[in-house]
Chain A
Amino acid sequence: MNQGLVSIIFIVAMLGLMGLGMPMAFSLVLTGAAMAFALDFWDTQLLAQNLVAGVDSFPLLAVPFFILAGELMNAGGISRRIIDMARAWVGHIRGGLGFVTIGAAILMASMSGSALADTAALATILLPMMRSQGYPMHTSAGLMAAGGIIAPIIPPSMPFVIYGVTTNTSISALFLSGIVPGLLMGVGLIVAWRLQLNKFTVVADERLSIGQRLVATGKAFWAMLMPLIIIGGMKSGVFTPTEAAVVAAFYALVISFFVHRELTLSGFHDVLVRAAKTTAIVMFLCAGAQVASYMVTLADLPSTLAAWLGPLIDNPRVLMAVMMITLVLIGTALDLTPTILIFAPVMLPIAVKAGIDPVYFGLMFVLNGAIGLITPPVGTVLNVVAGVGKLRLDEVIKGVNPFLMVYLFILTLFVIFPQIVIAPVAWMR
C-alpha cells in the first residue's frame, strides 16, 4: 500500500465529491470507502460502525446541551435582558448601540457556545433599533456578524468541544485558552467601530440615571450568574465540561420558566425540537467525518503530509503561518464544523511534530475557522445577519470588511506572539 497514493485518493475524492454539491456527510463516507479500498481494509461493516462511533461519544453530548442552553436563552428572555442592560449603560454615548452590540456579544458569548444562535439574537433585537436611530445598515450588520463569532471563542464553545473530541485535546484547557483572545476580539471591535463613527449621523439614547441603570442591571442579574456558574463550576470541580453544558441548559430553563416566566410548555417543546434538529445536522457530519478520519488515521496521512512539508517542520512559526493562511483560504468556502472535522486531525499531528503547543494550536484553529464564518463567498453568519436584517448579502459583506481586517490582524499577532495565548492559560490552570 502506497501512502502517497492513499493521500491523493483522500484529497481528490473528498474535494471532488464535495464540489459536486453532495451533502458533505455522504461525501466523507464515500471518501472513507475509497480509502478503505486502497488500504486493503474494505468492509461495509467498518463504514457503518464508524458512522455510529462518530456520534457515540459522551463528551460530544455537550454539543446538544450547549445548543439547548443557547435556544433557551433566546426563548426565555435572557438574551434580551442582557442587551437591555448593556443599552442602559452605554446606549447614550455616541455610536452607543455599536458598543451595546459588542458588550452584549461578549456577555452572551460567555453563556452560549454557538455563533449562529448569538448572531441571530443580536441581529433580531439590535438591528431594528440601529435602523431607527439612523445607523448605516451595512456597517451595523457587519458588526453583528463580527460580534457573533466571539461566541465560539469565549467559553463555553461548541466548536472547542468538537475540536477537543476530534483531536483528543483537553476541552477544559481549550475553554480557558479562549478567554483572553475572545476579549481581545471585543477590544478590536471597539477600536474598529470607534474609527468609523465619524462618518455616521445618528441619534443616541437618552442618558439614564444611575438608578435606572441599576434597575436594568438587576433585571439581568439571573442571566449574569450563568457564566459564573459555568466557569466557576468547571474550575471548582463541581462538574466536567459536558456536565457544565447540561447545567447551563437547566439553569436557563429554570430562569425562563420560573423567574422570567416567558417560556411555556409548548414553547419548551419547540426549543427542544430546534436544538435537536440543529444537533442532528452537525452530528451527522461528525458521523460521516469519522468514517473518513478512521481511514486517515490508518493510512497515517499526517506523516505523509509532514514529509511533504519537509523543512517547514523545523520552523514552527513559518509552519504556523502557512497553516493559518491555508485555513483562511479553506474558511472562505467551508463552514467551521467541517473544517474542524476534516482538517484538525490531519494538521494537529504536524503541528505537534513541529513542537507547537496543542492547546494554542486548537485555539488558533478554531479562531481561524470562526473567522471563516464571516468571509465570503460562503459565510454562514453573514447569511444569518442578511436573513434576519432583510439585507442583501453583498451589503453585509461590505460592512463586515473593517472588522474582518481587525480579526486577521489579531490572528497574525497570535502567530507572531503565541505567548499572548499560552501565558494566560498557564496562569489560569
Chain B
Amino acid sequence: MSDSTNPGSSGFQRWSERAMALCLAVMAAAVFLNVVLRYGFGSGVAASEELSRLLFVWMVFIGATAAYPMGQHMAFTALLTPLAKRPVALKAMSRLVHALVLLSCGLLGWGAWQQVVIGMDSRSVVMAYPTALLPLPAFLCAVAIGAMSFWNLLRGEVIDLGHESEVE
C-alpha cells in the first residue's frame, strides 16, 4: 500500500487507516442508531449528530494528511506536462508549488492553533466536549503537510504529473 518516500511513514499510514475506518464505522453507527430509535421507538440521542460531525472532521483531516505524501490530492497538472522534458524548469516549478503549500499550511496552522487555544475554554452544546477538538485536527494536518512540503522544498522533489484525481 505505502509507496511513500518519507521514512517511518508506513507506520503512520497503518495507524491512519485504522483511525479512519474506526471514525467512519462509529459515525455510521451513530446516525443509524437515531434512525432506528426515531422510527422504531419515537426517540433519539441528542449527541448523535454532534459526535458524527466531530468524527467526520477528524477522519477528513487524518485522511488528507495520509493522502499528501502519496500525491493523491486533486490537482490540475495539465499545464505542467510540456515541462516534463525540461527537468530544470520542472524542478523550479515544483519548488514554487512546495513553497506555496508551505505558505498555506503556515497560515492555516497559525490560525488553527489560535482557535485551539480559545477552544480549550468552551464546550460543545450537547456533549460538552472542549471546542478545541474541532480545530485541533486542522492544526495537526497543517503542521504535518507543512513539514512534508518543507522537506520536499529542500530536496527539490518533482511533483507527480501522471496523477489524476481518483474520486468523484
Contacts and interface: CB of A to CB of B under 8 A. Distances in A.
Interface string A21-55: 11111100110010000000001111111011001
B72 interface: yes
Given A335-B168, A380-B165, A275 B24 contact: yes
B138 A51 contact: yes
Nearest to B20: A276
Nearest to B71: A23
Interface stretch (A179-187, A206-214, A246-254, A316-324): A246-254
A29 B141 CA distance: 14
B28 A249 contact: yes
Interface stretch (A167-175, A278-286, A399-407): A278-286
B79 A116 contact: no
Contacts of A55: 56-57, 60-61
Contacts of B31: 61, 65, 242-243, 246
Contacts of B23: 276
Nearest to B25: A272
Contact of B79 (A21, A239, A273, A373): A21
A277 B18 CA distance: 11
Interface stretch (A12-20, A131-139, A345-353): A12-20
Contacts, number: 221
B78 A49 contact: no
A48 B138 contact: yes
Nearest to B149: A26
A48 B116 CA distance: 10
B76 A334 contact: yes
Contacts of A52: 57, 112, 134-135, 138
A75 interface: no
A281 B64 contact: yes
Nearest to A50: B111
Contacts of B32: 243, 246-247, 250
A25 B73 contact: yes
B16 to A, nearest CB: 9
Tell me if B's interface is mostly helix, strand, loop or mixed: helix
Contacts of B152: none
A73 B120 CA distance: 42
A280 B62 contact: yes
B50 to A, nearest CB: 9
Contact of B59 (A43, A280, A338): A280
Interface string B144-168: 0000000000000001010011111
A389 interface: no
A64 B49 CA distance: 15
A48 B28 contact: no
Pick the most buried of B27, B59, B76, B115: most chain A CB atoms within 10 A of its CB.
B76
Interface string B90-122: 000100110011011101111110110000000
Interface in A109-149: 114-116
B24 to A, nearest CB: 5
Interface in A260-313: 269, 272-273, 275-285, 287
Given A273-B21, A276-B20, A22 B101 contact: yes
A91 interface: no
Interface residues of A, number: 72
B80 interface: yes
A95 B120 CA distance: 65
A284 B60 contact: yes
B39 A238 contact: yes
B76 A48 contact: no
A74 interface: no
Contacts of A47: 107-108, 111
Contacts of A49: 111, 115, 135
A145 to B, nearest CB: 12
A257 to B, nearest CB: 14
Nearest to A46: B111
A57 interface: yes
A48 B135 contact: yes
A282 B74 CA distance: 8
Contact of B111 (A44, A57, A338): A44
Given A242-B31, A246-B35, A29 B135 contact: no
A415 interface: no
A26 B35 contact: no
A368 interface: no
Contact of A20 (B57, B93, B111, B167): B93
Contacts of A25: 64, 73-74
B168 A378 contact: no
A55 to B, nearest CB: 5
Contacts of B97: 20-22
Given A48-B108, A61-B27, A281-B73, A273 B17 contact: yes
A79 interface: no
B88 interface: no
Given A49-B115, A273-B20, A281-B73, 4 more contacts: A22-B101, A25-B73, A48-B114, A280-B63
Interface of A: 17-26, 29-30, 33, 43-49, 51-52, 55-58, 60-61, 64-65, 68, 114-116, 152, 158-159, 238-239, 242-243, 246-247, 249-250, 269, 272-273, 275-285, 287, 333-338, 373, 377-378, 380-381, 383
Interface of B: 17, 20-21, 23-25, 27-28, 31-32, 34-35, 39, 49, 52-53, 56-57, 59-64, 66-68, 72-80, 93, 96-97, 100-101, 103-105, 107-112, 114-115, 134-135, 138-139, 142, 159, 161, 164-168
